[in-house]
Amino acid sequence: MSSPTPDHARLITAIVDTLVPADDNGPGGSEAGVDAYISGVVRDNEAMRGIYEPSLDALDAYATSSAGAKFADLDLEGRTKVLKAIEAGEAEGGFIPDPATFFAILHHNMLEGFFGDPQYGGNVDFAGWKLVGYRGVKLIQTAADQAVNAAPDRPLTGRREALEVALAELAKESGEAVAAK
């Protein structure tokens, strides 16, 4: 399987940083590894490569013709306008199967890369999970966890931490020491 070309990789990075710009709430798309995730999708899936390669070329050509520069060279406002035109299906070019559907696929992959399990290459340092307050995998559910409208006590940052917190809660409830191995 082949990785995206350097031009396509640069374009993917610019796209994810446009869709998920860094701000006070957290890192941008590339900092969260979304570009690496999408590059992996393109590299590992021939059907997706058949959609992305011509569509990324079409996106760059559309940006050049409508905004006067390659997509990655535009400022955030210019990139946003180009993506909005693609999302609305207004862009011309060789998008597979069409601009709006390509945007929907791209957006879906961006969400997977930002909010999916980090083991698949995106969501670096649990950026997406932290943003929405998802605590991660919790191996043991206590009675308090299962109460209606129970608020999470704090975000968890990893499976090991989830296990340690669950064991501590179990130990507190039972009065016995429980340790992770």
User: What integer pLDDT is reported at residue 163 of this predicted model?
Assistant: 61
Angle at 61 between CA 57 and CA 63, to 5 degrees: 120
Distance of CA 38 to the CA centre of its chain: 8
Angle at 34 between CA 30 and CA 40, to 5 degrees: 120
Same domain, 102 and 152: no
Same domain, 91 and 29: yes
List the one residue out of 121, 119, 105, 124 whose CA is nearest residue 28: 124
Does residue 1 sit within a domain?
no
| 138 neighbors 129 (Cβ within 8 angstroms) | no
User: What integer pLDDT is reported at residue 136 of this predicted model?
Assistant: 74
User: What integer pLDDT is reported at residue 162 of this predicted model?
Assistant: 58
Does residue 111 sit within a domain?
yes
Same domain, 54 and 139: no
CB atoms within 10 A of CB 83: 21
Output the tens digit of pLDDT for each of the chain's 181 residues: 688 899 999 999 999 999 999 998 899 999 999 999 999 999 999 999 999 999 999 999 999 999 999 999 999 999 999 999 999 999 999 999 999 999 999 999 999 999 998 888 899 988 998 888 887 776 666 777 677 766 655 555 555 555 666 667 667 766 665 554 5
Does residue 149 sit within a domain?
yes
Same domain, 52 and 139: no
Last residue of a domain, one of 132, 147, 170: 132
Does residue 66 sit within a domain?
yes
Give the CA-trace dihedral at 95, 97, 99, 101, to 10 degrees: -140
Which domain range does residue 156 map to?
135-181
Does residue 15 sit within a domain?
yes
* Residue at token pair 């601009």: 99
User: What integer pLDDT is reported at residue 10 of this predicted model?
Assistant: 96
Number of domains present in the structure of the chain: 2
Same domain, 84 and 140: no
Same domain, 118 and 180: no
Same domain, 85 and 164: no
Does residue 78 sit within a domain?
yes
Alpha helices in 45-150 (DSSP H): 46-67, 76-87, 99-115, 127-132, 143-146
